[in-house]
């Protein structure tokens, strides 16, 4: 007898749950809500430049990738921002605008991580930088009484510390070697299709988290 689509989906998730030995989450727009445009808008407000000008300059000099693979210290990054945008911003102003990308971490996501960790080792793999991590930790302490993102995961893998970057396959290889698992035993959730494509090619099981949904919707089958 042919199973209904809903029963087929349930059967698929049951099999998947049996195979998974570790769950890895991206950070931005999976755990923490973010909005890239707020960076450009805030720099524009502080400098009198247009958001389009700021976005073009940051993209032109590939600042996200360079900073988030550890090529600059925080102070070097701030100076490069001043030179790139062409305005004498203070360190505090650079940090304020750079952190404008960060929004909130809903309580239900934090609770899901806690619930998942009772059944699986749970990890974070993020393209990120030290300024954003410090701001995220401050937010967690102020809003959720959690000292650090490290308290939410068994281990965190941060691009700027690793010197590696999604979607390059080397970052998945490095994480997988640390986990000491077969790639098909790992489930990875990310909101970037390019990251999902390269992780899938590497052999991880993957879920693309759509921006119109919440990561908790994808993870209920794991509990």
> pLDDT tens per residue, the chain (223 residues)?
333 445 545 555 665 667 899 999 999 999 999 999 999 999 999 999 999 999 999 999 999 999 999 999 999 999 999 999 999 999 999 999 999 999 999 999 999 999 999 999 999 999 999 999 999 999 999 999 999 999 999 999 999 999 999 999 999 999 999 999 999 999 999 999 999 999 999 999 998 998 878 888 888 878 7
Is residue 146 within 8 Å of 152, Cβ to Cβ?
Answer: yes
pLDDT for the residue numbered 13? 63
Q: DSSP readout, 69-129?
A: TTSS-HHHHHHHHHHHHTS---HHHHHHHHGGGB----HHHHHHHHHHTTTS-EEEEE---
Chain CA centroid to CA 37, Å: 16
Look up residue 220 and give its DSSP letter: G
Indicate the pTM of the whole model.
0.92
Half-sphere exposure of 15 (CA within 13 A, CB side): 8
How far, in Å, are 45, 74, 85, 96, 100 from residue 38 at the CA level? Answer: 10, 20, 16, 11, 6
Instruction: Give the domains, in start order, of the chain with CATH numbers.
Output: 5-33+106-222 (3.40.50.1000), 37-101 (1.10.150.240)
pLDDT at position 1: 37
Residue 154: its pLDDT value, please? 98
Beta carbons of 53 and 217 less than 8 angstroms apart: no
Task: Locate 208 and state its tokens.
Answer: 């693309």
d(CA 162, CA 78): 21
């Amino acid at each position: 007898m042919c199973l209904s689509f809903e029963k087929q989906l349930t059967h698929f998730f049951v099999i998947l749950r049996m195979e998974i030995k570790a769950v890895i989450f991206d950070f931005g727009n999976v755990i923490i809500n973010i909005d890239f445009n707020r960076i450009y808008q805030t720099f524009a407000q502080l400098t009198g430049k247009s958001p389009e000008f700021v976005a073009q300059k940051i993209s032109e000099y590939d600042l996200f990738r360079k900073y988030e693979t550890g090529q600059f210290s925080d102070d070097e990054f701030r100076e490069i921002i001043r030179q790139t945008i062409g305005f004498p911003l203070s360190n505090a102003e650079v940090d304020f605008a750079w952190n404008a990308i960060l929004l909130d971490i809903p309580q239900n996501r934090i609770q899901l991580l806690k619930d998942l960790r009772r059944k699986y080792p749970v990890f974070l793999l993020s393209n990120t930088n030290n300024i954003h991590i410090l701001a995220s930790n401050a937010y967690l302490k102020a809003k959720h009484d959690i000292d650090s993102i490290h308290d939410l995961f068994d281990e965190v893998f941060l691009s700027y510390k690793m010197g590696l970057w999604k979607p390059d396959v080397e970052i998945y290889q490095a994480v997988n070697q640390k986990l000491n698992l077969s790639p098909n035993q790992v489930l990875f959730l990310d909101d970037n299709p390019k990251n999902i494509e390269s992780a899938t090619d590497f052999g991880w099981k993957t879920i693309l988290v759509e921006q119109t949904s919440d990561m908790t919707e994808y993870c209920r089958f794991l509990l």
